[in-house]
Amino acid sequence: MSQSPHTVDNPFTGDVAASVEPTPPEALDAVLERARAASRALRALSVEDRVKLVLRACEAMEKDTESIARDITRQMGKPLSQARGEVAGMAGRLRHMAAIAAESLADIVLPPKDGFERRIAKEPLGVVLDLPAWNYPLLTAVNAIAPAVLAGNAVIVKHSPRTPLCGGHFARAFAEAGAPDGAVQALFLDYPRTEQLVGDARVDHVLFTGSVLGGHKMQAAARERFLHIGLELGGNDPAYVAPDCDLDKAVENIVDGAMYNAGQSCCAVERVYVHRSLYERFIAAAEPLVRTYVLGDPESDTTTMGPIAQPWHPAELEAFVQDATGLGARLVTGGRPTQVDGRGRFFEPTLLRDVSPQARLMREESFGPLLPVAPVDSDEEALALMNASRLGLTASVWTSDRERADRLARALEAGTVYMNRCDALDPALPWSGVKDSGRGVTLSALGFDALTRPKALHYRLRF
């Protein structure tokens, strides 16, 4: 029985932005078999040849920057300038992983032992299923695609229902680059059939980027298998503004870190703790910056904040605000769903002060343009509040004292801790979460580890 096409609305116009046919069951079997064959072909290539292949695919995508960026904007609403930036960011991550591949994937040669040679080889797993998120559909995809192919794996990309066209850009780029047939394939499945695919024995590794609930569903789908699933989940990312910081720079960067991509980022600043000595100045400096965002057509160069991607989310964001104000928070600006000239599903850039630690905003991921702020009296109080969440993706400390930042960083329960920056990934560093923010690592030299298996080579050279 055929399934009806899946349609995606443009969050600004309401028109159909994409319509895709779900991959039928009979075609899915062929996809898996092509991937198995491609994994064998990729494994037979040298790392140097895989690097060349990946770089050619990168160039193919960069050549199509404008069309890819418009696809992203029309499907999920981010301003076109930011979508172009995502293409560039994707290319930067891919090139970094390519640059470190040879060294990262080389055999580990152990110290000499009389009469023996001992090595640890890193072998590809086979077929990797990549389940990226819609908020950064290229960046969350390339975190798996680049290291997987470089390590000799084939990749099947099943993108989010919000951005179903984005996986196809990778598949076409690798085909244009001369990759083995099936090296990178894109398909679209509904949730039940995605869960079935996770349980298929022909899939060797899964990387899921999305919600905590989605992560639990992926684990449940693999319950009959000894399968490692990489999970990149949500964040409730805190910032601490210490009394010795550069306040103007801190405010500027924190507001941007909360509002970029309409706050729809797992590493966006989601809550701020400001030392009481700077608290009123922080609020006074943040308010005009929050008010400067221009909501509008995301394809217009004058727009600095696009609409909210998911239809139900503006109401959820309003509920977060109402919960906070009900617990005593004061709304400084924003706080409501809105439209621009009768179009789009927007949410006003929002600043709240005096937010209770019991408010949902301070404990859960809001995923919107909300900036809740609360005062603290010491580093110790800030640390305790920053760790008081089941999520632990990133945290930031704003201070002129490197030792203070390092002391707090060592105690913070987060996969990444920043000093004087936020909402940024460096592909040379591992990307990971603790607690309910995920499991496993992407990017950096460590990002290859989940996509390879170690093989012990123990050679007796003489008796």
**Burial classification of residue 460, based on how many CB atoms lie within 10 Å of its CB (0-12 exposed, 13-18 middle, 19 or more buried):** exposed
206 within a domain of the structure (yes/no): yes
Percent of the chain with pLDDT over 90: 96
Range(s) of the domain holding residue 81: 6-233+437-460
Phi and psi (nearest 5°) for 69?
A: -60, -40
How much is the pLDDT for 391?
98
Same domain as 227, residue 282? no
Residue 381 has φ and ψ, to the nearest 5°, of -65, -40
Q: Which residues contact 1 (CB under 8 A, 6 or more apart)?
A: none
Q: Can you give the CATH number for the domain in which 400 is found?
A: 3.40.309.10
Q: Are residues 197 and 336 in the same domain?
A: no
The region of weakest confidence among 45-49, 141-145, 221-225, 397-401 is 221-225
Q: Are residues 409 and 380 in the same domain?
A: yes
Phi, psi for residue 73 in degrees, rounded to 5: -60, -45
Q: Does 454 share its domain with 397?
A: no
One domain, residues 222 and 256: no
CATH of the domain at 59: 3.40.605.10
Is residue 347 included in any domain, yes or no?
A: yes
Average pLDDT, the chain: 97
Q: Do residues 199 and 85 both lie within one domain?
A: yes
Do residue 124 and residue 266 come from a single domain?
no
Specify whether 93 is located in the same domain as 228. yes
In-domain check, residue 1: no
Task: Kindly state whether residues 165 and 87 are assigned to the same domain.
Answer: yes
* Number of domains the chain contains: 2
Q: What is the pTM of this model?
A: 0.96
Does 158 fall in a domain?
A: yes
Confidence category of residue 3, pLDDT binned at 50, 70, 90: confident
Buried/exposed code over 264-290 (b: 16+ C-beta within 10 A; e: otherwise)? bbbbbbbbbbbbeebbeebbebbbebb
Assess whether 442 and 420 both reside in one domain: no
pLDDT in tens, 156-183: 999 999 999 999 999 999 999 999 999 9
> What pLDDT sits at residue 228?
84
Amino acid at 260: Y
Q: Is residue 442 part of a domain?
A: yes
pLDDT of residue 2: 62
The verdict on residue 431 lying in a domain is no
Question: What are the catalytic residues?
Answer: 232
Same domain for 159 and 144? yes
pLDDT at 221 exceeding the cut of 80? yes
Residue range 262-291: mean pLDDT, rounded:
99
